[in-house]
């Protein structure tokens, strides 16, 4: 449980740093953080999907601009991190690594885990749904039209830092945690995609066979 608590605490710090409002003054280190440092600071985008907004002259408002794409990536990364944690929390034996969380339902089939959780923990399930609803409304609501880069808020910033975690961080550390969250979100999206692939096409993810 110590490892799980440490992992959850780290994830919370990373998420809170992304939710909190950004500072006005930023150092060079903050500005240069892109999340693609391992590949020379340039996003891997062979299909140029991130540049679809350049076609707006020909097809006005047909393709989303950068604010919408950044918001979507951060949001879906957070969703998949929560989903992956939910799989580990409810799976018998923690998928071979013993990471089942005490108090969570035990379900050998991860595709049925959400139903088991909602049946055994209705109050917690309702609280999670409420939080998701508030976060979703905040991300696309009063802040403006991010589809056309007209939103007034930073992508992924929900202003949610009730523990004041970011106040204890330097600008460099806050920027680093945002990159940590972004990269872990990307990994979680791949992980969840692998679970669905494994369920749909048995044997398509050999690594998962190790975890039985």
Give the pTM.
0.69
89-142: pLDDT as tens digits: 887 665 566 677 777 888 777 788 888 889 988 999 999 899 888 877 776 666
Distance (Å, whole) CA 159 – CA 202: 42
**Residue 92 and residue 58: Cα distance in Å, rounded?**
53
User: For the segment 151-191, what is each residue's pLDDT rounded down to a tens digit?
Assistant: 888 888 777 778 888 788 888 888 888 889 999 999 999 99
Span of 8-12, 71-75, 99-103 with lowest mean pLDDT: 8-12
Q: CA-CA distance, 8 to 14, in Å (whole number)?
A: 10
Number of residues that make up the chain: 212
Cα–Cα distances (Å) from 169 to 26, 35, 155, 156, 183, in that order, read 13, 19, 20, 18, 19
7 compared with 166, residue with greater pLDDT: 166
For residue 12, pLDDT over 50 is answered with: no
Q: What is the pLDDT of residue 187?
A: 93
Biggest CA-to-CA distance, the chain: 56
Copy the structure tokens of residue 116: 């088991």
φ, ψ of residue 91 to 5 degrees: the values are -75, 140
Assign residue 198 a region: left if phi > 0, alpha if psi is -120 to 50, beta otherwise?
alpha
Identify which has the larger pLDDT, 143 or 73: 73
């Amino acid at each position: 449980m110590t490892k799980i608590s440490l992992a959850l605490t780290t994830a919370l710090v990373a998420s809170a740093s992304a939710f909190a409002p950004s500072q006005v003054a930023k150092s060079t280190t903050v500005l240069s953080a892109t999340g693609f440092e391992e590949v020379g600071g340039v996003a891997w985008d062979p299909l140029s999907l991130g540049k679809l907004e350049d076609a707006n002259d020909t097809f006005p408002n047909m393709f989303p601009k950068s604010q919408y794409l950044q918001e979507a990536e951060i949001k879906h990364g957070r969703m998949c991190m929560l989903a992956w944690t939910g799989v580990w929390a409810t799976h018998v034996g923690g998928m071979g690594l013993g990471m089942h969380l005490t108090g969570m339902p035990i379900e050998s089939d991860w595709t049925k885990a959400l139903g088991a959780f909602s049946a055994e923990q209705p109050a917690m399930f309702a609280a999670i749904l409420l939080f998701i609803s508030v976060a979703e409304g905040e991300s696309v609501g009063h802040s403006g039209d991010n589809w056309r880069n007209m939103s007034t808020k930073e992508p992924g910033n929900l202003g949610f830092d009730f523990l004041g975690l970011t106040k204890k961080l330097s600008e460099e550390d806050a920027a680093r945690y945002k990159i940590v969250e972004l990269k872990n979100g990307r990994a979680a999206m791949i992980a969840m995609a692998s679970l669905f692939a494994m369920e749909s096409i048995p044997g398509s993810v050999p690594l998962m066979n190790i975890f039985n």
